[in-house]
A and B are shown apart, each in its own frame.
Chain A
Amino acid sequence: MDRLGLALAVLVLGGSALTASGQESAAVAVGGDAGVAGLSLVSVGGVRASAGMAAPGGDGATWLWQFRNTDTAPRLLALSAPFDGGLPEGMLSAQFRCSATLVEGNAPRLAVVLFEKGGACWFALGPTAPTAQVADASISLEPLRQAAFSTDESGQLEWGEVVRVWVGAVLEGRSAGTFRLSRAVLTSEPYKAEKPLRLTGNGPGVWSVGKDPAVTAVLTMPDEGPDGKPCMKVDFHFPGQQHMYMVPSTPIVPGERGGFSGLRLTYKASLPPGIPGLLVMLGEQGAQFYASPPPPASEDWTTITIPLEQFRLGEWTKDDNGRLDMARVSTVMVGCHGAATGDGGPGSISVCDIELVP
């Protein structure tokens, strides 16, 4: 393939392409003028896949994979483009035009991988590919994750040193179907989430409990959620007249968190007498941000959305900028605290779905 066809092409997408701040956006089409037709296939291991250019259609040149992943481990389908002169700074999102048609399993997650000249490698994983029909989808390039095999020492991506970009999708677990990709553009447009993002992976998460020594708590993972789905359940007891805390927490799957506006969770809770509500917190590298006002107890399963702007920095913790930084959040906590009245009493909290919502 003629390298000129793959050379860096910065497209200014016209006067309508303004960022939220009113600045002109920059965009780089992966593959340049030739689009995906100019990309080369990344050789796939561990998955049965055939790939090639699809018959021309309304979306122009389109790569088509037919795949069957029999492994429970993720596998990548990707196209590669070299970039001799690096990339401009400030690429914030990648926009795809693609679709996935499945006969088995879940839709793949969109992915971008950036290789620097010195061996560093960074990547971003996004939401799943559209499945109804070919559509636009985007993923955030903030923050980028460094690949385990990356040989970077600087600690951050040097856009000008990028020599190769892969775009494609990660098959997560056993799945079979078709994946189409007809366009991939890196852009300085900020990412806007379009779908909720589950924070605990496919299941209810892996939970542990932090509590006052005087609190007794038993944590289980029964299939007692709505429609019998698995949930986290903690049954506990507060003694009375003393401030107590009981906070189950779960680490959340790393990934992009930009472009979301709220934390949605499905829960039910009964609390000891005198405890006003749930303590819902987001943990950001040692700092804890709590939802204010606290969600109320509820005997029945209920779903609430807490705007991210309602999270306050806990007075007992410190944060370097005092702001909730979703990119650095690594744990979610749903518990309670306070001084129970009288002799105290029992409580129970169950949680089954925790998501970020656009």
Chain B
Amino acid sequence: MSDAPRRYIAPTALLVTLLLAGGAWAEILLHVSPDGRDTWSGRLAAPSGDGNDGPLASLEGARDAIRRLKGHGPLAEPIRVLVAAGEYRITRPIVFGPEDSGTAECPITYEAAPGAKPVFTGGVRITGFREGPDGVWQTTVEDVARGGWYFEQLFINGRWATRARSPNQFYYYMIGKVARGIDPATGQLADLSARAFRARPGDVKPWPNLNDVVLVAYHSWETSQHRLAAVDPETNTVICTGPAAWAFMQWGFMQRYHVENFREALDQPGEWYLDRDGTLSYIPLPGETPDYVEVIAPVTEQFVHFVGETALGIPVEHITLRGLAFRHAAYTLPPEGHSDGQAAASMPAVIMADGAQSITIDQCEVGYVGVYGIWFRRGCRDCAVQRSYIHDTGAGFVRIGEGIIQPDEADRTSHIVVDNNVMHIGGRVDAGCVGVWIGQSGNNQVTHNDISDLFYTGISAGWTWGYGPSLASNNTIDFNHIHHIGWGVLSDMGGVYTLGISPGTTVSNNVIHHVYSYDQYGRGGWGLYNDEGSSDMVLENNLVYRVKTGTYHQHYGQANVIRNNILCYSMDGQIQRSRVEDHLSFRYGRNLVCWNGGDLITAGSIRDANVQLDSNLYWNEAGPVTVHGMSFEDYQATGHDPNSLVADPMFVDPAHDDYRLQPGSPAEKIGFRPFDYSRAGVYGDADWVALPKSFEYPEVEFAPPPPPPPPLVIHDGFELSALGEPPADAQCFVEGRGDGLTVVDEGPAAGDRCLMVRDAPGLEHGYNPHFFYSPWHLSGISTCSFDIRVTLDVTMYHEWRDASSPYKVGPSIWITNGRLTACGRDLMVIPAGEWTHIEITAGLGPDCTGTWQILVQVGAEPAQEFADLPLGSADFRELRWLGFSSSATESVVFYLDNLRLTNRAP
């Protein structure tokens, strides 16, 4: 924007125009060079002989020179800034505001000079390594020693180097929850369920640099990164400085984690560790020598910010960055750690845009950065990332829009193009990131990208869970090659993943393969995944193969169309529809579905009238096709999936992933129209197309099942649980319709608190409210004791179960209308209003005798013992579920206190 009176003709612009009059194009050329100075004019490509003029030294210098030019009047020619080869240090973000804008007729381009590949780096080289007698290289980083700097990422010989971690591969496992405890920061009792856990002895120690140790916890579809506040070696309790988005072990027992950045962890080639005294230690990879190694530590956190003001109608616009490389940006874990609900949603990008229009990132490189690469965030329109290489990122690659719907339409982002980019190696800080993320934004185009080597979803579109308002309509997600993601690390992911109502959105002609999830807790690595509320989308002509839990999954949604796809070789089921609703979920037709063993259906149901499958071709290489356990003929006889066939589709070479059809394929009988899936991925010159093909991928290694946890010991008088809250260590289930599980201070058996179990009429499930523990008692003698105070109309039960499906029952008691019964026997009266002590004992595993015993003591009366009671199931051997349930149909309460569970050798 210029304030100059319009009746002026800017003399400088005129002069430059005249100078260029002999050229084919009228444009202004400025030069930037490592030999330049920002006090020079930039009109010369090299310094003048007298040293009085020459090129500029930086992008900021060029930007400021253009501001001066514009100060003389509106642009009359395009401006090109040619950046010479060399390395340029970025120490702070370069900000382009409205005053730096070009116009449609006179755009401004910052581009590499012909043949040059200028590199803008936010890092510094670390040198001076010496090899020690133990083979460990060391050098001293003086700024770190002085306390002025500390870095958390390091790039060695063009590789994201591994910060020293334990274990080197796979995980440690949490073995116990810590619901409440003393917060080390305040000294007060606090809810620590999302900050603390009990570790296995020896896994976590009170290392000297505890504040610098980072713990990465693996949830279902996300990780959280934590700093450690305290480690108690006696109880093996670990307390983090800040919470995760979920309570630890919410997703299941034996939650995974690893720890990094302590000296003891430096034990594997390729690992590095930075001590606060400035010593940087590195164990080299084979073949590396101290004299020929490039080690770069990032300093700067952001490279470029395009920022305009959309509400005022003054965007930053018509600027292109072309052929520039941006490398080495830092991410520093905050003191309280970092945990997002999904997709590393709070992580920024090193190139950000807000209030931007017609901004183009073309043929650029963004690499070795601690966060996302590029983000068109708020109020951006008609911008593009094209033919660029984004790699080695701490989060994902490209983000479009925001997670919220801005009330002002001018603040909404739309019409962004992400086309023909290579995106490779992401999630190295937050594994839960996404390759390309579209939030509340529509009319975007994500096409012809090659996206690989992430731990979670490749492309995510939409950010409304359910059927609420969503802006994610008319997104085109076509011709992408998405592959080698998941790596068995996270769950609930897809090659393409969607949320919310999305009319006009297409997911077509993509090739998706090698999508592998972690399924020990959490679940799901699907090729195409329509998650919550995904509706009104068309998914067609996709090739999906070699995925974990299904080539297609709809959690719930409406009226999606899945047609004419090739869907092959999911390891565990092919189709999943998780929720039956009272509207049409999806139409699934003309697909070729091929697999090697197992049922067609992963989970859920396709047996009702609100899902339409028709004219598909199914082929199970390992045997007959079964659907919900039925033969395909029987399934079709119920009226479902008419016109579908079971037949070999006759792929050319499916064992080597050649899914072209041989002549004579029966695919035409179902109306399948062959498509050229080789068109997916990047296009253009041979070197560009060859780049993603040059990457190598190892075979996926799934983590072994976690070791069984130690037997759970409970000693809970509910004294540490918060009043009004459910018991902290149990899995609790209430329907919120007047029922409840609440710690109260109403007449406890001992101490100040007890647990109140309140039932209510009209609950959906008769067994609610209920709560249970997961004891993992596999052998020895287990004893569960508790105090109970009932009223006359209470109906409750306490039961021991194993983990099989259907489960087997061990000891089991009912208290109904004041009578205690077990094994169908009426044992005794339980008086109302008085505390009764109950103790149940049984042997498990090899120590199981087939019987159990119960001891009951009412008040101060002598205890009564009932021995040799038969187990509910004769082959019950393991205690994996210990539960309490109220089964009344009225508003009744009973109280529990002094709950104990032990396990001992016989």
Q: Which residues of A contact B (CB under 8 A)?
A: 1, 40-43, 45-46, 51-52, 72-76, 80, 111, 113, 121, 123, 125, 145, 147-149, 164, 170-172, 200-202, 205-208, 212-214, 219, 221, 239, 242, 250-254
Residues of A within 8 A of B73 (CB): 43
Q: Please provide the 8 A-B residue pairs with the shortest distance between their CB atoms, ordered closest to farther.
A: A74-B313, A149-B97, A76-B313, A213-B736, A43-B2, A75-B313, A80-B3, A147-B309
- Which residues of B314-334 are within 8 A (CB) of A? 314-318
Residues of B within 8 A of A201 (CB): 407-409
Across the interface, do A40 and B104 meet the contact criterion of CB distance under 8 Å?
Answer: no
**Which of B101, B313, B316, B378 contacts A73, CB < 8 Å?**
B313
- Which residues of B87-128 are within 8 A (CB) of A? 95, 97-98, 101, 103-104
Is B74 part of the binding interface, using a Cβ–Cβ cutoff of 8 Å?
yes
Which of B354, B357, B407 has the most C-beta atoms of chain A within 10 angstroms of its own C-beta? B407
Closest to A1 in B: B5
Residues of A within 8 A of B307 (CB): 148-149
Closest to B355 in A: A148
Residues of A within 8 A of B664 (CB): none
A71 to B757, CA, bound (A): 62
- Which residues of B376-413 are within 8 A (CB) of A? 378-379, 381, 405, 407-410
Do A46 and B104 contact each other (CB < 8 Å), given the known contacts A74-B311, A74-B312? yes
- Give how many A-B residue pairs fall within 8 Å (CB-CB): 110
A219 to B468, CA, bound (A): 7
Listed A/B pairs (6) with beta-carbon separation below 8 Å: A45-B101, A73-B313, A74-B310, A149-B308, A201-B409, A239-B762
Residues of B within 8 A of A208 (CB): 468-469
Is B158 part of the binding interface, using a Cβ–Cβ cutoff of 8 Å?
no
Q: In the complex, what's the smallest C-beta–C-beta distance from B616 to chain A, in angstroms?
A: 33
Do A111 and B469 contact each other (CB < 8 Å), given the known contacts A40-B4, A42-B3, A149-B98? no
Do A252 and B312 contact each other (CB < 8 Å), given the known contacts A45-B1, A46-B104? no
- Which residues of B469-522 are within 8 A (CB) of A? 469
Residues of B within 8 A of A221 (CB): 469
Is B6 part of the binding interface, using a Cβ–Cβ cutoff of 8 Å?
yes
Do A149 and B407 contact each other (CB < 8 Å), given the known contacts A45-B103, A208-B468? no
Q: In the complex, what's the smallest C-beta–C-beta distance from A123 to chain B, in angstroms?
A: 6
Interface footprint category on B: 35 or more
Interface string of B64-79 (1 = CB under 8 A from A): 0000000001100000
B interface SS class: loop
Across the interface, do A214 and B355 meet the contact criterion of CB distance under 8 Å?
Answer: no
Is B737 part of the binding interface, using a Cβ–Cβ cutoff of 8 Å?
yes
Across the interface, do A145 and B311 meet the contact criterion of CB distance under 8 Å?
Answer: yes
Is B738 part of the binding interface, using a Cβ–Cβ cutoff of 8 Å?
yes
Across the interface, do B313 and A170 meet the contact criterion of CB distance under 8 Å?
Answer: yes
Across the interface, do A74 and B410 meet the contact criterion of CB distance under 8 Å?
Answer: yes
Across the interface, do A73 and B315 meet the contact criterion of CB distance under 8 Å?
Answer: yes
Across the interface, do B5 and A41 meet the contact criterion of CB distance under 8 Å?
Answer: yes
Across the interface, do B407 and A46 meet the contact criterion of CB distance under 8 Å?
Answer: no
Residues of A within 8 A of B357 (CB): 46, 73
Across the interface, do B408 and A253 meet the contact criterion of CB distance under 8 Å?
Answer: yes
A42 to B314, CA, bound (A): 11
Across the interface, do B381 and A73 meet the contact criterion of CB distance under 8 Å?
Answer: yes
**Which of B1, B95, B407, B762 contacts A43, CB < 8 Å?**
B1
Residues of A within 8 A of B311 (CB): 74, 123, 125, 145, 170, 254
Residues of A within 8 A of B1 (CB): 42-43, 45
Residues of A within 8 A of B3 (CB): 40-43, 80, 164
Closest to B358 in A: A46
Q: In the complex, what's the smallest C-beta–C-beta distance from B356 to chain A, in angstroms?
A: 10
Residues of B within 8 A of A149 (CB): 95, 97-98, 307-309, 316, 355
Residues of A within 8 A of B762 (CB): 239
Across the interface, do A239 and B737 meet the contact criterion of CB distance under 8 Å?
Answer: yes
Across the interface, do A45 and B312 meet the contact criterion of CB distance under 8 Å?
Answer: no
Residues of A within 8 A of B407 (CB): 200-201, 205-206, 250-253
A46 to B762, CA, bound (A): 62
